[in-house]
Amino acid sequence: MIDHGATERRILKTELRWAVFVGFLVLMILGAIVYAGISMHINPPSNREFIDPKTLHLSGEFTEANLGTSVDTDGQVTTRVIATQFSFVPQCVVVPANRTVTLRFASPDVIHGILVSGTNVNTMVVPGYVSQVHTEFTRTGDLLMPCHEYCGFGHSQMLATVRVVPPEQFRPGPDGKVTCG
């Protein structure tokens, strides 16, 4: 004679044990996300801004003359970069250390992704949207900015340089622009 009640109880115990284990795992993962968000400033980009990818180069913010780093009259530093198959325009941008910098990206063709090595800058660049990241670079030097989203045959050759200079070496020209050259 088999005791069905005892079997049921044993199964229930095992299930409960697994439920507690999985619940603990979920809490650990959530904790890791919250920790990374608060202490390391690693958050998903929250900007949602539309732009027509077909006319990027013709008018508006992302025309050639507006690309690169510029300083507004109120001192705000903004760097605009186009990610396109298979390069960044411009190939090199200058930013000041220890100062808030706004990075803005747009793509005229396919989905790209960018990250700046050794920093928390990491975002997708999706055609039709402006990707925006606010950050502060703390180390000076040339940082590598590769494309990290497979975008075609030339993906592995797609990279740019972010040149972080000390604040005293960051001198905008009369037009407010700062370039690598």
Residues 55-84 that bind ligand CUA (CB under 6 A): 83
Nearest distance in Å: CB 172, ligand CUA: 29
Nearest distance in Å: CB 151, ligand CUA: 3
Nearest distance in Å: CB 49, ligand CUA: 20
Backbone angles phi, psi at 171, to 5 degrees: -120, 105
How would you classify the pairing of strands 77-84 and 177-178?
unpaired
Does 165 interact with ligand CUA (rule: CB under 6 A)? no
Nearer to ligand CUA, 96 or 149 (CB): 149
Nearer to ligand CUA, 96 or 108 (CB): 108
Nearest distance in Å: CB 83, ligand CUA: 6
Distances (CA, A) of 157 to 130, 140, 142, 152: 23, 24, 17, 10
Does 127 interact with ligand CUA (rule: CB under 6 A)? no
Nearest distance in Å: CB 180, ligand CUA: 20
Nearer to ligand CUA, 101 or 160 (CB): 160
Does 104 interact with ligand CUA (rule: CB under 6 A)? no
Does 163 interact with ligand CUA (rule: CB under 6 A)? no
Residues 138-157 that bind ligand CUA (CB under 6 A): 147, 149-151, 155
Name every residue whose Cβ is closer than 8 Å to that of residue 12 and which is 6 or more positions away in sequence.
none
Nearer to ligand CUA, 70 or 80 (CB): 80
Cα Rg, the chain, nearest whole Å: 23
User: Identity (one letter) of the amino acid at 5?
Assistant: G
Site of interaction with ligand CUA (CB under 6 A): 83, 112, 147, 149-151, 155, 158
